[in-house]
Amino acid sequence: MGTIRINAFENHPPMVLSSTTSELPDHARFNVLAGKYNAFAAVLEGAADSVGSEQKFLLKLAETRESILKLEHEYEYYVGGLSHLQGVAVPRCFGIFTGSVGDNAVACLVLEYLETIPEEYNKRIQRKEKRERLISHINKIHDAGVVINHPEGCLRYVGPWDDPRIIDFSASYPHVCAFDPEINAEEGCHEIMTLSLNYQAISNGQF
C-alpha cells in the first residue's frame, strides 16, 4: 500500500514534538500493510536496536489543520496524563511528527500495534474477562483525570481479548472523577456508568 517516511514527508523535515521519538531510528520508513480511515498498520524498515523486536506500528495520520490539532491534542494525553498507563491501559506512544506534502501540512502519530484476535474459544469467559479488563482500564484513565469521550458511548480499543488497550483521545478533556461504585453508584460518573452498562451487556452475550 506504499511507504510512509515519518521524518521526511516529501523530503520536508518535520518538527519532532517529543523526545520519545528518539526510540525510532533516523530516516524511519514504514511499509503500510493495511488501513482504515486515518489509521494504518505498518512495518518499520531497518528497525534500530533501541526498538527491540517491535517491528509493527499503528500510525494515525492527519492532513487538515483541524485534524492535526486533534492529533496533537491526543498526543499530549499520551505523554501527559496517560503516560503512566502506556502499555497498560493505552498503547505505547513513540511520538508525533509533522511535515508537509506540497503546500499541505501533515502529521503522523506513531503508536504501539496490537493484534486484535477474534473471540473464538470459550466466548462467554473471554467476554467476561475482556469486560472486566476494559472497565478496569476505564477506571484507571478516569483516575488519571481524563474523560475518554468516544462518541455515543462506543468504546474504541485494540488488542486481543485478554489484553485490550483503549485508543483515540482526540476529543478527551480533563476530569475530576467522583465515581465510587460502593458509595455513589446511582449518581456517579456518566461515562463510567454508560460504558460499564455497555460492557455488562457484552459480557451477557447480547452482542
Q: What pLDDT, on a 0 to 100 scale, did the predictor assign at position 33?
A: 61
Domain boundaries along the sequence of the chain: 3-112, 123-203
The phi and psi torsions of 66 (rounded to 5 degrees) equal: -65, -45
**DSSP strands (E only) in the chain:** 3-5, 29-36, 39-45, 56-62, 93-101, 104-112, 146-147, 157-158, 165-166, 173-174
C-beta of residue 7 within 8 angstroms of C-beta of residue 97 = yes
Domains 3-112 and 123-203 share a fold: no
pTM: 0.73
Cell 483541524 -> residue = 66
N- to C-terminal Cα distance for the chain?
Answer: 33
CATH class name, domain 123-203:
mainly alpha
The phi and psi torsions of 82 (rounded to 5 degrees) equal: -105, 10
CATH class name, domain 3-112:
alpha beta
**CB-count exposure of residue 24 (10 Å: 0-12, 13-18, 19+):** buried
Q: pLDDT band for position 24 (50/70/90)?
A: low
Instruction: Give the mean pLDDT of 161-183.
Output: 79
Question: Between 52 and 35, where is the model more confident?
Answer: 35
Q: What pLDDT, on a 0 to 100 scale, did the predictor assign at position 17?
A: 38
pLDDT digits (tens, 9 = 90+) for 108-136: 888 888 877 655 555 665 677 888 888 89
Q: What pLDDT, on a 0 to 100 scale, did the predictor assign at position 2?
A: 42
Q: What pLDDT, on a 0 to 100 scale, did the predictor assign at position 205?
A: 36
- 84, pLDDT greater than 80: yes
Q: What pLDDT, on a 0 to 100 scale, did the predictor assign at position 206?
A: 33
